[in-house]
Amino acid sequence: MSDILLFMVCMIDGLILMILSVYIIILLSDLECDFLNTKQGCKKLNQWVLPEMVATSVIPVLYLLLWHWFLFLLVAPFAGYLAHRYVTLRPGSMGVYDPTEIRNRGMLARFQKEALFKIGYHVVVFVISLYGFFMALIF
């Protein structure tokens, strides 16, 4: 019963994170096309950094608590990357998405590539959780 609940929570979390990643891509494309002011866009993006990090960290913690070591090792590095990105912010910056630097040095293109990677990652986690859910139901 605990594995069914684990994989169901991970599926819901993965689905929410996929939707959030699509929203981030939409905001980044609005910034790229100048449909959105840079300061407003970065403020909207930065408000989702911490919830995304926490929601992404839930999955490896649950895998670790229920002794799914391979799945933990598969998903933990990305959660660690998001935590590292949040912790190592430069002093004085507005957040991960800084309006003064987002247009410099191709940062916007880098953030868009990162958001596309996030969608792919969350799709993989969702499919793994879906497979685990059905296997837990069958066995």
Q: Hey, where are the domains in the chain?
A: 2-138
Residue 106: count of CB within 10 angstroms of its CB: 10
82 sits in the region (left: phi over 0; alpha: psi -120 to 50; else beta) called alpha
* Cβ pair 27, 44 in contact under 8 A: yes
Model confidence at 1, in pLDDT bands (50, 70, 90)?
low
Instruction: For CA atoms 74, 76, 80, 81, give the dihedral sign.
Output: positive
Residue 50: count of CB within 10 angstroms of its CB: 13
Residue 93 sits at the vertex; the CA angle it makes with 92 and 94, to the nearest 5 degrees, is: 120
Rounded average pLDDT over 2-20: 95
* Cβ pair 19, 123 in contact under 8 A: no
**Looking at the predicted structure, is the pLDDT value of residue 105 above 80?**
no
Rounded average pLDDT over 53-62: 96
**Looking at the predicted structure, is the pLDDT value of residue 116 above 80?**
yes
pTM: 0.92
